Amino acid sequence: MRKVSVCEHIIVAVYNNAPAGAHVPLKTAFVFEYVLTRHVLVQVRLTDVCENDNIRSEYDLARFSTLKTTYDEAMRELRDDPLDFAISRGIVQDSGFDAGNPEALALRLENGRFVKEKYKLNYVPVITKAEGDAVGRMIETNGYQENSAYLGQVYQSLGDEAWQFFDAVGRKNPEFAQAASVYKNSPETASGILQGAEILKEQKEYAPKKEDFDKAYYDLIGQDVFSMLRPEDQANIKNSVYAYAAKLNSDSGVVDNTVADDVLEKSVRDVLGEKVDIDRDGFWTGGFTTIAPQGVSADDFELWFSGLADERLKGAYTAAGYSVSAGTLKERGTLLWAGDRKYLVRVDDWLLLNEDGTPFVLDYDGE
């Protein structure tokens, strides 16, 4: 076994912010890289600080500690705002986010892919935090027609990558994010959500009473449909349906702060998709309610569900490691809405998982 020197213990203790002399696991290869300025990478090795089991100098040890602090700060910045990290250090050349400039957007997407690969990140937003804040302020200032036009511009420019932009911007602008999610299928509905959000601010007489709306909303779709989403996402979906209902009230001139059943049903159908009640009389469980993909009728969805084959559940397992047949899903399973055309699958009390432990997602592949 390789002998660990006293000097190495001291350096590892500094690296781990532990008291000098503390027992800290040591890697044989002890090399760090530090991003200091632009493209300059500085490596610090044990041999830079230790010589013959002695610290070469207090200066070298202090330099090591300072560089480690600099590195930690840089890595926090990288995780917090990857593109800003790379742009501000000149690691990538970028001309800024401009939804009306296809060349600038193509460069931005290329830079995002480069940063993601270079630093082994799972996700790099297509805009920086500062840009997202600026877009958010613009959205709040614009009227719904301007925001609808902006949605179209972003989709036209970014195509299938547009979700990255809306994911980054939507956290502070939930109605805008929900409008973005339906824009591809229905620009008119997207505009209606944005118009409804504006009505809620300026013409409150068209807004249904919140407590009455919430009760009617959950009476219609139940509590389970969106139960696997984050609470803030569930709230954002409900608020978007609420905004759209206000728009429909405005269209009809309804000013008594109510929401009629047909208005609520249309709001859910247009904003999310048609409500589907899967009825079954079985020993294990009753039916369940979910939301069909936009543009798909409840009848067509039920036909698709009844026709599911075992192949569609290939690679899905319970937490105990058991596979599930399509027949079991139809008898005892529930489809939980996870976005347009996407469903999480629960059988009895088990959420189906992939082999790596992530939730299994069943895609709607019907017409």
Helix intervals (H) in the chain: 6-15, 46-49, 58-80, 82-88, 102-118, 129-141, 144-158, 162-170, 174-183, 187-202, 210-221, 231-252, 261-271, 298-306, 326-332
Q: How far apart are CA 291 and CA 236, in angstroms?
A: 16
Quick one: pLDDT at residue 28? Answer: 30
Which is it for strands 40-45 and 31-37: parallel, antiparallel or unpaired?
A: antiparallel
Position 172 confidence tier, pLDDT thresholds 50, 70, 90:
confident
> Higher model confidence: residue 12 or residue 118?
118
Round the CA-based radius of gyration of the chain to a whole number and report it: 27
Q: Under 8 Å CB-to-CB from 144, ≥6 apart: which residues? A: 191, 194, 195, 197, 198
> Higher model confidence: residue 309 or residue 2?
309
**Residue of 112, 243, 226 whose CA lies nearest to 175:** 243
Query: Are 9 and 24 spatial neighbours (Cβ–Cβ below 8 Å)?
Result: yes
Quick one: pLDDT at residue 177? Answer: 83
Quick one: pLDDT at residue 367? Answer: 66
Dig out the tokens for 157 from the structure: 């420019």
Query: Are 12 and 24 spatial neighbours (Cβ–Cβ below 8 Å)?
Result: yes
Q: How far apart are CA 136 and CA 147, in angstroms?
A: 11
Q: Among 32-41, 45-54, 90-99, 143-152, name the one with the lowest average pLDDT.
A: 32-41
Position 190 confidence tier, pLDDT thresholds 50, 70, 90:
very high
Indicate the average pLDDT of the chain: 81
Q: What is the average per-residue pLDDT within 27-53?
A: 46
> Higher model confidence: residue 363 or residue 171?
363
Phi, psi of 45 (to 5 degrees): -115, 160
Quick one: pLDDT at residue 47? Answer: 55
Top mean pLDDT of 16-25, 33-42, 97-106, 182-191 is at 182-191
| Model pLDDT for residues 251-282, shown as the tens digit of each residue | 999 888 888 999 999 999 999 999 999 987 65
Q: What is the average per-residue pLDDT within 302-318?
A: 94
DSSP tag of 352: P
Dig out the tokens for 282 from the structure: 């079985």
DSSP tag of 3: P
Q: What count of other Cβ atoms lies within 10 Å of the Cβ of residue 286?
A: 9
Q: How far apart are CA 153 and CA 176, in angstroms?
A: 14
Q: Is the pLDDT of residue 65 over 50?
A: yes
Quick one: pLDDT at residue 45? Answer: 53
**Residue of 326, 366, 363, 365 whose CA lies nearest to 347:** 326
Quick one: pLDDT at residue 280? Answer: 77
Dig out the tokens for 51 from the structure: 């010589």
Dig out the tokens for 115 from the structure: 């940063």
Cross-strand bridge partners of residue 33: 43
Q: Report the percentage of the chain scoring pLDDT > 70.
A: 80
Q: How many CA atoms lie within 13 A of 183 on its CB side?
A: 24
| Model pLDDT for residues 210-248, shown as the tens digit of each residue | 999 999 999 999 888 998 888 888 888 999 999 999 999
Query: Are 254 and 264 spatial neighbours (Cβ–Cβ below 8 Å)?
Result: no
Give pairs for 296-302: CB < 8 Å, separation 24+: 296/364, 296/366, 298/274, 300/366, 300/367, 301/274, 301/276, 301/364, 301/366, 302/276, 302/278
